[in-house]
Amino acid sequence: DGLPYFVMEYVEGVPIDEYCNREALDVTQRLELFRQVCAAVSYAHRHAVIHRDLKPSNILVGADGVPKLLDFGIARLLQAGDAIESPATMLEQRVMTPEYASPEHLRGEPVTTASDVYSLGVVLYRLLTGQLPHRLKAQSAEDMARTVGQTEPQRPSVVTDATNGRRLRG
């Protein structure tokens, strides 16, 4: 009828952390899968797209073992030649998953590609340890930002390994 419409691929799969546990992937296999996710995020960044909500449930792995990066609903474009988001984006800045958000995102500051890289680090920590690096209880955004920005998480080498229940080495 001449009306615009939007077509998206249906992605069938499970969150990356569930997939790793269900398939009993070892550390090397988890890292290889994660490397593919990093390549997808790198592609988005090369095209000036910041995802802003990287977390396991936004990374689905299909039966073929290929991860797909999903939910660009709060993603934003970087302005040409600028590392800071546009003012329109800044109004929505608090839309996020706090457990995976970078300190600057929690503080309501402009989010850059570095914020996505931070979130990838949290996802990797979860894949290797089965835990989040910080325990964020029902806190204010300022308290969460303080927790994330000022406390060191346990080294993954001393946290129980999600792949086999032993401690990671290194």
Q: Give the active site residues.
A: 53
Question: Which among 121, 128, 155, 154 has a CA at the least distance from the CA of 21?
Answer: 128
Element (H, E) at 50: strand 49-50
Q: Taking the CA atoms of the chain, what radius of gyration do you get in angstroms?
A: 17
Nearest-10 Cα torsion for 8, 113, 39, 164: -100
Element (H, E) at 76: strand 76-77
